[in-house]
Amino acid sequence: MAAFDFAEKTLQEIPFVVVDTETTGLYPGLGHRVIEIGAVRYEGGRPVAEFEALIDPERPVDPKASAVNGLTDADLRGKPRFAEVRPRLDHLLDGALLVAHNASFDADFLGMEYALASPEAEAGRLLLPNPWICTLQLARRHFHFGANNLAHVARQLNVRVGRAHRAINDVVMTADVLLRMARELAGRQHLRTVGDLLFAQGGGIFAPPPIRVALPPLLEEALAAGRDVEILYLGGKEGESRRRITPRYAAYHMETPYLIAYCHLREDVRTFRVDRILGATLV
């Protein structure tokens, strides 16, 4: 928290931004992307600025994700990419504590988006250095709600519940949940400062920095030059198959490296385990 002097201050004394993202799927390391961001900035405990944007993820939305958030590929067609909306988002987040329900999810996805929008960034350097408070972790550790999904927690705290799983509605709910949690924790556990709340949730949460994935030299060359590659790939049920792909980026999921690429055979963005690419030839 070197750049954020929050530890001895209360939520009323600092700017904080409540953030919610909707995504194409669950795992940024497997190529899923942000499709909607909602964020509201609070100062003195009151909303002062708002950000809301639909984002072109440059890949299809997983049907299961679409069933939850109600967003389809058609809704996102023609929308800006993350790099285009980033300056507005940066302005809103500047100097603020970040807040989310299940903050690790939103932090992981925004960390990936910042990394993809900054391809020349130094590996390991935080591009989004703001600390996060997680209302889900506070609910799990200090309350007994029976279930800890946002809508249920909101009802238990007598917070008005809006339409779930759309970013800006979840943001407003999360802000009210945080302020009510903070009031209760100050009264019964004397947790009054931001430092107290960060300790209460189990420590600081941060968006991960860019991580460089070591690829075989030919794949590195293809990725850097935007070249197509023909690969021999060992799939699960399909066995060995030859694919023509256009690499987009590489990432880790569960410490396993993956290559996210456009697959010309499937005419779709696919994710390939690097250790299952048995051979590659530049096209």
Catalytic residues: 165
Rounded to 5 degrees, what are φ and ψ at 209? -80, 170
201 contacts: CB under 8 Å, gap ≥ 6: 133, 134, 137, 138, 141
Look-up of token digits 């590489």: 250
CA distance 240 to 278: 9
Residue 125: Cβ within 10 Å count: 10
Contacts of 261 (CB under 8 A, 6+ apart): 245, 246, 247, 248, 269, 270, 272
Tell me if residue 241 falls in helix, strand or coil: strand
E-only strand ranges, the chain = 16-23, 34-43, 46-54, 97-100, 132-134, 229-234, 240-253, 256-263, 268-273, 277-282
The token duo for 8 is: 């001895």
Q: DSSP string spanning 75-133? A: HHTTPPPHHHHHHHHHHHHTT-EEEETTHHHHHHHHHHHHHHH-TTSPTT--SS---EE
Structure tokens at 165: 């799983």
